[in-house]
């Protein structure tokens, strides 16, 4: 058994950390300070994005959705998207086992 702590009290711009990797995929915690932005990017495989704390704007092409705490969105591979934090936010990003975590770190840095 492994307990994964999603809490974060340090909100400075945008940061990401891989919390866990299992046979089916990888779990990443993204922390976003209010008004921070993740530029448009895309993933080579399907992803799931869930807001655990806070509120974000989630952009896909010309469409914007507001995601509140515990809301989740799924995207197919190669769909361009971006995010803006409306509040200090903690986001769970679930990646495919074959996706490279360094790609995520390049987007947030």
Q: What are 55-67's pLDDT values in tens digits? A: 999 999 889 999 9
Q: Which candidate, 58, 51, 45, places its Cα nearest to that of 31?
A: 51
Q: What is the model's pLDDT at position 103?
A: 82
pTM score, two decimals?
0.91
86 contact partners, CB below 8 Å, separation of at least 6: 34, 35, 54, 55, 56, 57, 66
Helices (H), the chain: 101-108
Which parts of the chain have pLDDT scores under 50? none
Q: Which candidate, 12, 14, 16, 15, places its Cα nearest to that of 101?
A: 16
Domains in the chain (CATH in brackets) are 14-108 (2.60.120.10)
């Amino acid at each position: 058994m492994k307990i994964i702590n999603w809490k974060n009290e340090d909100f400075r711009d945008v940061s990401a950390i891989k919390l866990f990797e299992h046979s089916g995929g990888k779990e990443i915690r993204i922390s976003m300070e209010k008004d921070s932005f993740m530029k448009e990017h895309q993933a080579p495989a399907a992803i799931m994005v869930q807001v655990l704390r806070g509120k974000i704007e989630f952009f896909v092409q010309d469409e914007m959705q507001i995601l509140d705490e515990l809301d989740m969105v799924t995207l197919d591979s190669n769909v361009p998207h971006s995010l803006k934090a409306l509040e200090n936010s903690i986001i769970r990003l679930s990646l495919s086992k074959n996706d490279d975590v360094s790609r995520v770190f390049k987007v947030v840095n």
